[in-house]
Amino acid sequence: MVKSSVLGFPRMGVLRDLKKANEAYWADKITQEALLAEGKRLRLAHWKIQQEAGVDIIPSNDFSFYDHVLDHIQLFNAVPARYTAQKLSPLDEYFAMGRGHQKAGVDVPALEMVKWFDSNYHYVKPTLQDNQTFTLAADPKPVREFLEAKEAGIATRPVLVGPVSFLALGKADRGSTVDPITLLDKLVPVYVELLKALKAAGAESVQIDEPVLVFDLRPEVKAAFKPAYEAFAAAGDAIPSIVVATYFGDIVHNFDVLPAFANVRGIHVDLVRNPEQLEPVIAQLGPNQILSAGVVDGRNIWKNNFAKSLGLLQTAIKALGPERVIVATSSSLLHTPHTLASEKKLPADVYEWFSFAVEKVKEVSILAKAVTDPEAVRAELDANAAAMKSRADSTRTNDPKVKERQEQVTEEMHHRKSPFESRYAEQKKHLSLPLFPTTTIGSFPQTSEIRIQRNKFTKGEITEQEYDDFIKKEIDLAVQIQDELGLDVYVHGEPERNDMVQYFGERLQGYVFTTHAWVQSYGSRCVRPPIIVGDISRPAPMTVKESKYAASISKKPMKGMLTGPVTCLRWSFPRDDVHQSVQCQQLALALRDEVLDLEKNGIFVIQVDEPALREGLPLRKGAERDAYLKWAVNSFKLATAGVEDSTQIHSHFCYSEFQDFFHAIAALDADVLSIENSKSDAKLLKVFIDEAYPRHIGPGVYDIHSPRVPPEAEFKQRIQEMLQFLRPEQLWINPDCGLKTRKWDEVKGALTHMVNAAKQFREQYTKA
């Protein structure tokens, strides 16, 4: 009999219940006990969903109040001393690492948070010391949650981040030089202790995630698998059987690592991303090992093509037999919305094309039955085939006018009129910018009143004119505050925008939208990605009205704010029937029209954000990565290159590690780059010196993901560090990212300190 398996389930709940509970706890509106009870309620609800769908192997320890990697940091007592010294409760210490803590005399910043592989999810980076030790937490979360499910009558398979991946995804703390992978011999015994505790609790099997196997690994990391998994093998029957899970890529290039897994029960591979690895992986399995076949997409929302998946599964069964094949999701369903049943406003003709987490759980169960007894699920197979045909035949997907315009794109359209030196001379004269110019990344706080008024407008409870008047008042406030703060380049604050991608998607042809399809981005932050269902075009201007009004009341240059084509693509659920390069070029042409309209209406600083550019980077070097960078860079340039020399193009990136693709960052030809940098070592900026980068850079000087307000001295220290690697005339001063998730008192406090620090450096260097 073929079994079914889910690698992980979304944490937030049907109506973002976990987000609401977390934020209520942070605001001291509920107790710790109430928050923990809500977590327990959600876990039980999610296990029952999978049990009722007929899933054979249900995960536990996939739930997290903030981040699953952060869970492991606390699980192994790898908490930096700056947090343990505060003597906070375990839960408050946990949240302090995730989001910082500034309360009751305690002031600690958050740990660094970075993207999880090529997804839009963020994990908290293990931050390790030269004298690092590991011990198992007194009440291990994986054991506790396994027993919780067991008590409810639900058998689960605990999920752990593997020891090699945990270390390989970590970093040395500031002031330390340790290579995290060298700590393996200290960490593995703690894993063995944990696995023994799980076995004693009744766990028969565990899922150990080693997703770094899809990377090109350093020799030291490759070598780490052998001693780690030999230690597990040596524990014999004292620990549960192990299934090693990989996802987001293929593992063929790391086959030389597989002997390390000779004693594990099985291997999971992602056959959605890389179906071609199926037969090579089968050939590498030991005589009794199982294959967990990830055929149901854990990253997108399209209904599974049963016919295609069954073809892969039948190949596996023919080679291994049904007892050695598990039908599984490709990865955790963390990256998908909760349930399609919540969507009441999707167009009827597209509704049947989609599948969210609850529906994907059912797909896994159906496929496990269909592969050996298709008649038992004939109705489901027929309905699936009808949905596939409906989408393929739909007129929504193809717009001849869009294709015609794409055919007219020329190479010249990708290039600015003059090189940067000539452009900057025009911009400096036109914009009157000082040394160390200060700005923000775009958004200001999305207050409860903004959300209330937007909701009223959406429901038709207020008129368009009433809503427009409200938005103007919010823009007035944003400009007034920037006047008071003394910033040099203003933004209008984006009060009219619900999300940096959804807002644009709602104004473009080719998208559809959901009402409850929220996906966790980090912590309590959720996004509701729009869905690309057809060819994309711009019927009318999208941002000109608000930006033009803001410029009319501003004393300083006003920045127009757009989301770039790559990010619009990556932070949507893209089509899976057309190459992403085609979709991205369509978005670029729509944004090119918007950029030119902003310029015509007096906006001469235009920021086109591309925080997802690195996220979309194929995980391995080679032809696929080169091709991606070519079409991604060309899409950005197509969107921005039509302006005059005197118009300044900015772009923003949510990372500062450019070393492996710096040539592409330089090729964007943006006049100013702002980058998330406050949690990174300033030494990463050295690449701008090494590559003789000529244009301007704004490394973020404080972490906007945390409510903490850094003191002015901290801003000065950060700027001084940056000046070791950047020229004074090259440096802009700005936060890490947009400020929509922060409160106004936090924003005003932090920006006051930021502007004051910048002014002091300006005075110092002007005198010099």
Residues with catalytic annotation?
705
3-state secondary structure of 20: helix
Q: Residue 105: which region, alpha, beta or left (left: phi > 0; alpha: psi -120 to 50)? A: left
234 φ/ψ angles, rounded to the nearest 5 degrees = -65, -25
711 φ/ψ angles, rounded to the nearest 5 degrees = -70, 160
- The Cα-based distances of 173 to 98, 176, 460 in angstroms read 15, 5, 52
Task: Report the DSSP pairing between strands 525-527 and 490-491.
Answer: unpaired
- Are 59 and 331 in contact, with CB atoms under 8 Å apart? no
> CA-CA distance, 21 to 35, in Å (whole number)?
6
The residues, any chain, with a CB within 8 Å of residue 221's CB and separated by 6 or more, are 164, 168, 181, 212
Structure tokens at 735: 């936060």
DSSP 8-class letter at 733: B
CA atoms within 13 A on the CB side of 464: 0
> CA-CA distance, 542 to 503, in Å (whole number)?
9
Structure tokens at 256: 């030389």
> CA-CA distance, 169 to 164, in Å (whole number)?
8
3-state secondary structure of 495: coil
Closest CA to 279 of 328, 251, 315, 243: 315
> CA-CA distance, 301 to 296, in Å (whole number)?
10
The residues, any chain, with a CB within 8 Å of residue 461's CB and separated by 6 or more, are none
Q: Residue 631: which region, alpha, beta or left (left: phi > 0; alpha: psi -120 to 50)? A: alpha
> CA-CA distance, 466 to 462, in Å (whole number)?
6
What residues pair up with 156 in beta bridges, in sequence order?
58
What residues pair up with 5 in beta bridges, in sequence order?
57, 328
- In DSSP notation, 399-438 reads -HHHHHHHHT--GGGGS-SS-HHHHHHHHHHHH---SS-B
> CA-CA distance, 280 to 283, in Å (whole number)?
5
> CA-CA distance, 352 to 340, in Å (whole number)?
10
